[in-house]
Amino acid sequence: MTKNRHYPTYFLFGTLLLYVVLYLLPGILGIGYSFTDWTAYSDQVHFLGYDHMFDNYVKAFSDAKYFGYLGNTLLFTFVTTIVKNGVGLALAVLLTKQVKLLNFHRAVLYIPAVLSALIVGMIFKSILNPAQGLLNSTLKIFGIKGLKWLTDPKIAFWSVMGVDIWKGMGYIMTIFIAGILSISPTYYEAAQIDGASGWQQFRAITLPMLAPTMTVTTVLNVIYGLRVFDMVYALTNGGPGFATEVLYTGIYKEFGFGRYAMGTTLSSIMFVFMALIGFFLIRAMNRNEVEE
């Protein structure tokens, strides 16, 4: 309501319109379609009726198959978030020290993040081939019998997570490097004068000062983990059997089978789920920051 604001309100309209048309409307329509019987086999789309409007949701939650997908998605999110944050932070701390060829090391670690997940998937599919793959062939030279990385159901999902961590940690590292570089060196100088050890400096200065950065990386990782699709698709396509199936490969398959209503139902569940997790995560982490 102040007179001296910089821009008039209607400057917002263009952006708002684009946002509504491109994001909000398809999202709401998607949720709407989850209450219908929409499939590829019929031109007609019918509302399921008030008595049966949640049928698709009931089916989604009563089918053990989808629970398996959900479990895998959560496991993937949990593991990759923790490891990417941990390794990313460790690398960031290392690569903000006086290291030879500093930018070269940073670049090498960041490069996988630029590559397409599909290409990384294809390359690792070949590297992890149990018979002719580079990894097992190398292990063989040292007399070690390699594992069936992508074809043993007990290991496959961990291999997928491993490849994803390899690809994603450079990106997280870069964010942490930016965070660390923004911490004023005076804190460290003061701590050194007081005789603080490296670990003490890390625990008492770096870590607390990085809390806002940590919020960002965690939210990014969690949202990415919940939405993971391309890496699983390229490496295992949900196999062996259904061992590495995640929610988004499941949704993709529903659309592939022409079961649009079920696909939109699963997408809607994911949307609510991610909105809730994102909301509480940011709130919880912001509260911690204030307390500190």
138 binds another protein (CB under 8 A): no
SS3 147: coil
| x/- map, 15-54, another protein, by CB under 8 A | --xx--x-----------------xxxxx-----------
Q: Does 284 bind another protein (CB under 8 A)?
A: no
Residue 94 CB, shortest distance to another protein, in Å, is: 36
Residue from 202, 242, 271, 273 touching another protein (CB under 8 A): that is 242
Q: Does 241 bind another protein (CB under 8 A)?
A: yes
Least separation in angstroms between residue 212's CB and another protein is 33
**Rounded distance, CA 235 to CA 123, Å?**
9
Per rule CB under 8 A, is residue 258 in the interface with another protein? yes
Distances (CA, A) of 29 to 61, 155, 248, 266: 21, 39, 19, 14
Residue 229 engages another protein in binding (rule: CB under 8 A): no
Query: By CB under 8 A, is residue 11 in contact with another protein?
Result: yes
- The tokens of 155 are what? 């290991």
Task: Tell the smallest beta-carbon distance from residue 201 to another protein (Å).
Answer: 48
DSSP 202-253: IIIIIHHHTHHHHHHHHHHHHHHHHT--HHHHHHTTT-STTTT--HHHHHHH
User: How far is Cα 27 from Cα 212, in angstroms, rounded to an integer?
Assistant: 29
Q: Which stretch binds another protein (CB under 8 A): 14-22, 188-196, 197-205, 272-280?
A: 14-22
CB burial of residue 179 (10 Å; 0-12, 13-18, 19+): buried
Q: Which is nearer to another protein, 176 or 233 (CB)?
A: 233
Contact positions with another protein (CB under 8 A) in 151-190: 151-153
Asked if 256 touches another protein (CB under 8 A), the answer is yes
Non-local (6+) Cβ contacts of 183 within 8 A are 205, 206, 209, 210
